[in-house]
Structure 1
């Protein structure tokens, strides 16, 4: 492992015996002191990195030499992880990536930069090994107060960037290639058909609470995110007729997050709500302010579910006002209700009804793959296989009855 120091000396002033400058001038003596200091610095860094399993190669040595001579441009050196992350995020702007995903990578870069400050160290690629990844994970949970599942999502995004750097010719630590991040499943909270019916039959007083109740029912039977749910109006409802002359009503919209066009058949429960408003949708809470409408919908929906008596004790994610962080704890179910419960309830309930295929449900929710969809509702391929096995058994039992 060799690398140039960038220092220059006349050949006649170099001692082959000592491999150092001859001690015949003040300049040579100063140069000798500088080279010995460099040697001691590199040895110290070597011993420190050896215990961390860092990959030692010419890139490692060049980086240490540059650090010693203060030649590293912190702003533009793309061997520095945070600089590469910034460049990576800039390039994402030219790709057709989701805005929400872009924000996750930008957030990850900021978190890693904050982690560096806490560690009082600037990381280059070969230094980010399994130990550093685990230290980062622990910092996210203990110091940054993130949920374990959120922290591991950030770690997955960091690994993606590290592998991209590897594919771009950077030398990364060999442990990253096989580094696996345990998937901590998030707790899936949804409303069953029975609970939705109970909410529907609960008397509610107050215009905002009544609107929230009706939007909640619509959401559980249309399966859309709150941004698309509260954007529904009479103008998005269409009637279509099939080849047999039967007419059906649908809601057609372009999902704000994904840009996907979805067509949603109007369930009888939705039609019933629309009848209350002369064929239109319930009023929203704060004009066209999407964030305010979402916040108010979340607030009033919790109140609706509390009034409906959804107080079964379940485990879920609750925001701790004192600590200013989410925590997993046991609480009444109504405390865990938010706008997102609409989409998850739709997906979970109709997935559980064998009359509907998974692609039918995905066409409405807008999930891109079955794997993502199953993860969303807390199912695995094993659950899918068990359902198929149960269907096989039912078919076999029916054949026996026929015989």
Structure 2
């Protein structure tokens, strides 16, 4: 499951109260960086440095690996990080973004997407007594925090990012892992 560019822009333009704004920022940060919930949750200001070319870089430790990865911060994700840097109370201390549990984010992300109008009918497979059945649901019901990672991968692919670069950005050990999350033509 991923968002299209149009659906992503619907969320970007959505005006919400402070509580949902934190959820929106967290989700959009994931869409812009391709990071997992746990990686974003563990980020602090010390993870952001400026490299020798003057580019702000976010360093993180991959949840499933010992390897360290780097992602360049660009306009949108940099703006979100800066928003909370100057208001550490909103970010709960040293965290880069507000601390919210994955369960809370998943619940509120659905509300956010519904408000944004990401609710077109979407088909999914549901097993009833062990038999696969096609069921139509509103897209917002299927969206979770991990949708942000899939959105990043899919939109990066559509914009022409080479698969080897995307593989490195997502810190995948095999290209097959990267290709499997593309949702091209869905």
Q: TM-score when scaled to structure 2?
A: 0.84
Q: Counterpart of 1:330 in 2: which secondary structure?
A: strand
Distance 1:271 1:333, change over 3 A: same
> Relative to 1, partners in 2 of residues 1:308 and 1:249: Cα closer, same or farther, differing over 3 Å?
same
Superposition CA RMSD, Å: 2.4
Q: Which residue of 1 aligns with 2:3?
A: 191
| Aligned mates of 1:214, 1:347 — CA distance in 2 | 18
User: Matched residues in 1 for 2:15 and 2:149: separation?
Assistant: 24
- 1:306, 1:257 → 2: CA distance? 32
8 Å Cα contact 2:172-2:178 kept in structure 1: yes
State yes or no: 1:252 paired with 2:59: yes
**TM-fit CA distance, 1:231:** 1.6
Identify if the C-alpha distance between structure 1 residues 228 and 372 changes in structure 2 by more than 3 Å, giving closer, same or farther.
same
Aligned length: 175
Task: Provide the secondary structure at the position in 1 that maps to 2:51.
Answer: strand
Structure 2 partner of 1:359:
164
Higher helix share: 1
Q: Which has the larger radius of gyration?
A: 1
Q: Distance in 2 between matches of 1:353 and 1:211?
A: 27
Higher relative contact order (CA 8 A, sep 6+): 2
Post-superposition, which runs of at least 4 consecutive aligned residues in structure 1 deviate over 6 A? none
1:341-380 alignment runs, 5 A limit: 341-354=147-160, 356-378=161-183
Question: Aligned-pair distance for 1:194?
Answer: 2.3
Change (3 A) 1:328 1:223: farther
SS state of the match for residue 345, structure 1?
A: helix
1:44-123 matches, within 5 Å, as none
CA positional deviation for 1:315: 1.3
Cα-to-partner distance string for 1:99-155 (whole Å, 9 max, x where unaligned): xxxxxxxxxxxxxxxxxxxxxxxxxxxxxxxxxxxxxxxxxxxxxxxxxxxxxxxxx
Instruction: Give the Cα–Cα distance (whole angstroms) in 1 for the partners of residues 57 and 133 of structure 2.
Output: 40
* Map of 2:99 onto structure 1: 284
One of 31, 46, 56 as aligned partner of 1:235? 46
Partner of 1:271: 78
Mapped contact 1:211–1:284 kept (Cα < 8 A): no
Kept in 2: contact 1:318–1:336 (CA 8 A): no
Listed one character per residue, the Cα deviations across residues 71-103 of structure 1 (whole Å, up to 9, x for unaligned) are xxxxxxxxxxxxxxxxxxxxxxxxxxxxxxxxx
Distance 1:328 1:259, change over 3 A: farther
Q: 2:163, 2:169 → 1: CA distance?
A: 10
TM-score by length of 1: 0.40
8 Å contact kept, 1:211–1:283: yes
Q: CA deviation at 1:276?
A: 2.2
- State the alpha-carbon separation in 2 of the partners of residues 267 and 255 from structure 1: 20
More strand by share: 2
2:49, 2:135 → 1: CA distance?
44
1:239 Cα deviation after fit: 0.6
Q: 1:311/1:259 Cα in 2 relative to 1: closer, same or farther (>3 Å)? A: same
Q: How far, CA to CA, are the matches of 1:343 and 1:307 in structure 2?
A: 21
Q: Which residue is 1:221 aligned to?
A: 32
